Structure 1
Amino acid sequence: MDFDVKTLDGGSDGKITVSDEIFGLEPRQDLVQRVIRWQLSKRQAGTHKTKTRGEINATGKKMYKQKGTGRARHSDRKAPQFRGGGKAFGPVVRSHAHDLPKKVRALGLKHALSAKARDGKVIVLASAETDATKTKALREKLAGLGLANALIVDGAEQNDAFVKAARNIPHLDLLPVAGINVYDILRRDTLVLTKAAVESLEERFK
Structure 2
Amino acid sequence: MKVQVTTLDAGKAGEIELNDAVFGVEPRADILHRVVTWQLEKRRGTARAARERSDVARTGKKFGKQKGGGTARHGDRRAPIFIGGGKAHGPRVRDFDPSLNKKVRALGLRMALSSKARDGQLIVVENLDLEGEAKTKAVRTQLAGLNLGKNALVIDGDALSVGFARASSNLGQIDLLPAVGANVYDILNHETLVLTRAAVEKLESRFNG
Q: Bin the TM-score by the shorter chain.
A: 0.7 to 0.9
* Superposition map of 1:159-174 within 5 A: 159-174=161-176
Match of 1:124 in 2: 124
CA displacement 1:18-53 (0-9 Å, x = unmatched)? 111111111011111111111111111112656734
Match of 1:176 in 2: 178
Q: Which runs of 5+ in 1 are unaligned?
A: 67-73, 80-84
CA distance in 2, matches of 1:96, 1:115: 28
Match of 1:16 in 2: 16
Match of 2:136 in 1: 135
Native 8 Å contact 1:54 1:86 kept in 2: no
Match of 2:204 in 1: 202
Native 8 Å contact 1:55 1:86 kept in 2: no
CA distance in 2, matches of 1:75, 1:113: 64
Native 8 Å contact 1:45 1:95 kept in 2: no
Give RMSD over aligned pairs.
2.8
The structure-2 alpha-carbon separation of the partners of 1:50 and 1:189, relative to structure 1 and needing over 3 Å to count, comes to farther
Native 8 Å contact 1:7 1:126 kept in 2: yes
* Superposition map of 1:48-63 within 5 A: 52-53=52-53
The structure-2 alpha-carbon separation of the partners of 1:20 and 1:166, relative to structure 1 and needing over 3 Å to count, comes to same
Task: Please tell me whether residue 109 in structure 1 is matched to residue 112 in structure 2.
Answer: no
Any idea what SS the aligned residue of 1:205 has?
helix
The structure-2 alpha-carbon separation of the partners of 1:65 and 1:115, relative to structure 1 and needing over 3 Å to count, comes to farther
Any idea what SS the aligned residue of 1:107 has?
helix
CA distance in 1, matches of 2:53, 2:100: 37
Match of 1:82 in 2: none
CA displacement 1:77-133 (0-9 Å, x = unmatched)? 749xxxxx812xx64234511221111111110011111111111000011111422
CA distance in 1, matches of 2:95, 2:174: 30
Q: Which runs of 5+ in 2 are unaligned?
A: 68-73, 82-86
* Superposition map of 1:72-111 within 5 A: 78=80, 86-87=88-89, 91-111=91-111
Q: Which amino acid in 2 is paired with 1:108? A: G
Any idea what SS the aligned residue of 1:169 has?
coil
Q: Which amino acid in 1 is paired with 2:2? A: D
Give the number of aligned pairs: 191
CA distance in 2, matches of 1:169, 1:176: 18
Q: Percent of counterpart pairs with the same letter?
A: 49
Deviation at 1:54, TM superposition (A): 5.7
Match of 2:34 in 1: 34
CA displacement 1:119-154 (0-9 Å, x = unmatched)? 111000011111422011101211221124000000
Task: Please tell me whether residue 145 in structure 1 is matched to residue 140 in structure 2.
Answer: no
TM-score (normalizing by structure 1): 0.81
CA distance in 2, matches of 1:139, 1:50: 50
